Structures are given as structure tokens and as C-alpha cells.
Amino acid sequence: MKRYLYLSAFIGVIAAFPASAHHSTTMFDHAKSVTIMGTVKEVHWTNPHVAIYIYGTSGEVKEPTLWLMEMTSPGNLVRAGGWSRTAVKPGDKVTVDFSPLRDGKRGGALKKITIAETGKLYTADIRAQERANLEEQPAK
């Protein structure tokens, strides 16, 4: 019994400072697609979610500003989208398509990122790895 009390107390402490573990993504409006063009400021190649900060403009917002893009885990990005830790680097000029946060804040779920200099693009659909031996038929 005492063990449960300790566990409950521990959960309470953690809940006060939520971390970025496994969650649904309906806080993003997947029916919409927004595009930003800009420069990569930071790449957080971390579990459980990778994030990219981009300084750029979008649609009617002509003044450059900072945007946050959330993605799945490094392992999933490697398998599902052909990413690597250095696929996108700070300083890269990029175009990003993303599903925006429903609350209007400057963040979204990255759908596609294209690097201007090389034309290389990466997607981030976690469900794009649903077959065996992915290397035999690389993602398009």
C-alpha cells in the first residue's frame, strides 16, 4: 500500500511539469496546411520528439518570426522519412509545410521540409513505415 502512495506522489510531481512523451496530435489541425519559408535556428534531435525552430515568414505574416515544428522520434523519422541527425541543420534555408496548432500559436506538426540549397525534402509521417524491410523500397 505504501508503495502505491509513493507512486501516486511521484506521478503528482511529474504531472506538475509535463514532459514531451507519447501523445495524440489533435492539438494540430491536420485538415489545414500552412507554409513557412525561412532559416533553421535550432534542431533538437531528441527522444521522444524531434523539434525544429525556424525563423521565417508565412502567408500574410511578412515580418520574420520564430516558429516551432514538432515531429515524431528520431528512430521513427529515420525509418519513416529517411532522416538523419544532420539532415536538417541550423542555418539551412528551408520551406516547411505543416499542420498548425489549433490555438493559433506559432507552432505546428511538420509535414514536409525542403532544403533550398539541395532541393532535398523530408517528410514526417509516422505511419509511412508500415512494411517490412523498408530499405528494399525506400520512401518516396
Q: Round the CA-based radius of gyration of the chain to a whole number and report it.
A: 17
Query: Can you give the binding site for another protein, defined by CB under 8 A?
Result: 3-4, 7-8, 11, 14-15, 17-27, 29, 42, 44, 46-49, 51, 53, 65-68, 70, 72-76, 78-79, 101-102, 105-107, 126-127, 129-135
Measure Cα distances from 116 to 25, 30, 40, 88, 136 in Å: 28, 25, 11, 11, 28
Return the ∠ at Cα 77 (arms to 75 and 83), rounded to 5°.
Answer: 110
Residue number, 66 or 116, with CB nearest to another protein: 66
CB of 3 to another protein, least distance (A): 7
Residue number, 26 or 118, with CB nearest to another protein: 26
Residue number, 55 or 114, with CB nearest to another protein: 55
CB of 82 to another protein, least distance (A): 9
Nearest in space to 111 (alpha carbons), one of 44, 32, 5: 32
Residues 6+ apart with CB under 8 A from 73: 47, 48, 49, 50
CB of 60 to another protein, least distance (A): 18
Question: What backbone torsions phi and psi does residue 7 show, to the nearest 5 degrees?
Answer: -60, -45
Nearest in space to 117 (alpha carbons), one of 94, 137, 84: 94
Residue number, 53 or 121, with CB nearest to another protein: 53
Residue number, 55 or 117, with CB nearest to another protein: 55
CB of 120 to another protein, least distance (A): 17
